[in-house]
């Protein structure tokens, strides 16, 4: 490395900065948006389901309806979970890797997965860990680039 770069690095290091560059971590402002939820007085039941318990396999119905409205998708195509997106993604990939009905992904010679980008690097890392090739499709203003997606599906 050049002496200038090392000198500059030492100057920055000497400032004793504490910078958190963790990706995917909500800002305190974003977390504060949910503060009022902590003090809500709501009935803890959704029909016969006690919401204080484990919930339902596909998630709480009202949350699924909300997701359905936001995504303009049928409720049957929406699941909600009490985990992070990272955990849900891992569970879905693992289940298909080990137990897919037609052919588990572990038994496919070179499995591939289409991923919209930009995305979350930790999600992409999971695919690497399972030996699954990631085929990237860029996001554009109104969703994925359909031309790139079409090309990816042809290969």
Please tell me the predicted confidence (pLDDT) of residue 136: 92
Please tell me the predicted confidence (pLDDT) of residue 36: 81
Per-10-residue mean pLDDT, the chain, length 155: 85 86 76 80 71 74 88 92 80 92 93 88 88 93 93 89
Same domain, 106 and 147: yes
Task: Say how far apart CA 146 and CA 118 lie, in whole Å.
Answer: 15
2 inside domain: no
Same domain, 122 and 92: yes
Domain boundaries, position 93: 85-155
Reduced to 3 states (helix: H, G, I; strand: E, B; else coil), residue 45 is strand
Last residue of a domain, one of 59, 82, 105: 82
98 Cβ neighbours under 8 A, 6+ residues apart: 104, 106
Same domain, 125 and 139: yes
pTM of the model: 0.56
- Residue 39's CB is within 10 A of a number of other CB atoms, namely 6
17 inside domain: no
Alpha helix (H) residue ranges in the chain: 3-14, 28-32, 61-71, 85-99, 121-129, 146-154
Please tell me the predicted confidence (pLDDT) of residue 15: 93
Please tell me the predicted confidence (pLDDT) of residue 18: 80
The number of distinct structural domains making up the chain is: 2
Same domain, 100 and 78: no
Please tell me the predicted confidence (pLDDT) of residue 123: 82
29 inside domain: yes
- Which one, of 84, 85, 136, lies nearest residue 112 by Cα? 136
Same domain, 145 and 120: yes
């Amino acid at each position: 490395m050049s002496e200038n770069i090392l000198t500059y690095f030492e100057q920055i290091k000497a400032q004793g900065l504490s910078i958190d560059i963790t990706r995917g971590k909500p800002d305190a402002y974003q977390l504060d948006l949910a503060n009022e939820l902590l003090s809500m007085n709501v009935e803890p039941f959704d029909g016969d389901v006690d919401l204080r318990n484990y919930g339902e396999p596909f998630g709480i119905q009202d949350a699924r309806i909300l997701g359905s409205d936001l995504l303009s998708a049928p409720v049957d195509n929406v699941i909600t979970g009490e985990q992070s997106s990272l955990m849900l993604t891992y569970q879905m990939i693992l289940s298909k890797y080990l137990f897919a009905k037609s052919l588990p992904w572990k038994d496919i010679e070179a499995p591939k997965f289409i991923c919209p980008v930009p995305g979350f690097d930790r999600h992409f890392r999971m695919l690497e860990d399972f030996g699954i090739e990631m085929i990237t499709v860029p996001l554009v203003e109104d969703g994925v680039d359909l031309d790139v997606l079409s090309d990816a599906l042809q290969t």
